[in-house]
Amino acid sequence: MRGATKRWTGGAVLALSAVLALAACSSPPPKVVVVTVTPPPAPAPKPTATPTSTPTPPPVVAPVPTLTPNAPAQPAEPLPPGPANDLGAIPGAQGTPVADADGNLLSYTVVSGDSFFDIAQRFDVPVQQLLRMNPQIGDVGEDIYIGDVINLDWTKTG
C-alpha cells in the first residue's frame, strides 16, 4: 500500500501545484469606478436695459453749386507753313532735292525705297502740310512712285 500512498501523494502534490499555477495566472478582478457628473449651475440671467430711441439729427443738405459755363473754346491757330529744311538723307528718303539759287528747297524726286512719311521727316515738314502742298499725291501719301516729283516750296501748291 505504500506504493499507492506514494502515488496518491504524488498525484495530490501534482494537482495542488496545478491549482496554484492556475491561480497565479488569473488576474485580480477589475475594480469598478463610479463617476458622477454634475453639470455646473446655469448663470442667473442678467437683466438687460431696455433700448430707448435717440433722436436722429436731420440730414445736412449741401448747397447746390452754381454752374457757370466755360467760355466757348477758340480753335487753335494753325501753324503757319514754313520752308522745308533738309535734315539729310535717311532710310526711306535717299534722293537729292532741287534748290533755288538762295538754297530754298523747291522739289524732291522719289527714288526706290522712299516713303512719303520719311520724306516729310527728312525735310522737317508735317505730313499733313506736305500733303496740302502736293494735292496730286493721293491716299494719305501711300501712293507715291519712283520718279514722282514732290513739291517742297511751301509758297506753291502742286
Question: What pLDDT, on the 0 to 100 scale, is given for residue 74?
Answer: 85
Which grid coordinates are listed for 77?
Answer: 491757330
Q: What mean pLDDT value characterizes the chain?
A: 81
CATH number for the domain formed by residue range(s) 97-151: 3.10.350.10
For 18-67, how does the pLDDT look when each residue is reduced to its tens digit (9 = 90+)? 665 555 555 666 778 777 777 788 887 777 777 777 788 888 888 888 88
